[in-house]
Chains A and B, each alone.
Chain A
Amino acid sequence: DTGVSQDPRHKITKRGQNVTFRCDPISEHNRLYWYRQTLGQGPEFLTYFQNEAQLEKSRLLSDRFSAERPKGSFSTLEIQRTEQGDSAMYLCASSSGTSGSTDTQYFGPGTRLTVL
């Protein structure tokens, strides 16, 4: 296992620009999660994929946010028309398991977004 990787690690953008982040899960992990973490807070759930299907989206995920996981491998999270309130650490996690089984989420290093 090479672990969960995220790219880029840091992104600075101007308000109104679009940004896209990538997450590569641990190989063969069928579940992939996106979380957002702001300073002094715990992570907040954004969305979840099982294979290529996006099964749940948080109400935190406005229509400016979109996530994909084509072919059930890597995932991308796009934020359109960024706002200063989008500044946060975006964390990706993956896990392996089927319904009814136990699984553990393994996290990537995160992408820190700063919107100026």
Chain B
Amino acid sequence: AQSVTQPDIHITVSEGASLELRCNYSYGATPYLFWYVQSPGQGLQLLLKYFSGDTLVQGIKGFEAEFKRSQSSFNLRKPSVHWSDAAEYFCAVGPNAGNNRKLIWGLGTSLAVNP
């Protein structure tokens, strides 16, 4: 079965600290991988994506993620968190072929940032 697991429901970090949000997936083939961020009451904003090539991808707002095929993981990292990063973060996977690109989503990780 296709699934995405984000093991951490809620994380609190101090401003300026480093951050790593975990994402593991179960999929029939190598999928496309995405991280989105959602602020309260807002839609989803794409942070970064992995389709192929370099397994370390850079995104917006200083985020990066690393695809590790052997671990079926796509963890999101940021070296220094800002208070404005407090939000809900979603990992999603989708097929790399076919017409329908519907995404399978994790339950999200809620990030709180202490001043």
Measuring CB to CB, which residues of chain A are less than 8 angstroms from any residue of chain B?
4, 6, 31, 33, 40-45, 48, 50, 55-56, 91, 93, 95, 97, 99-100, 102-110, 112
Contact = CB atoms under 8 A, between A and B. Distances in A.
Contact of B103 (A43, A56, A109): A43
B44 A55 contact: no
Contacts of B34: 104-105
A108 B43 contact: yes
Interface of B: 4, 32, 34, 36, 41-46, 49, 51, 90, 92, 96-108
27 contacts: A33-B102, A40-B107, A40-B108, A42-B4, A42-B90, A42-B92, A42-B105, A42-B107, A43-B105, A44-B105, A45-B103, A55-B100, A56-B100, A91-B43, A97-B101, A99-B97, A99-B99, A100-B97, A102-B32, A104-B34, A104-B46, A105-B46, A105-B103, A107-B44, A107-B45, A110-B42, A110-B43
Contacts of A44: 105
B98 to A, nearest CB: 7
Nearest to A31: B101
Contacts of B4: 42
Given A42-B105, A43-B103, A45-B102, A91 B32 contact: no
A91 B51 CA distance: 23
Contacts of A100: 97
A11 to B, nearest CB: 14
Nearest to B104: A45
A106 B47 CA distance: 11
A42 B43 contact: no
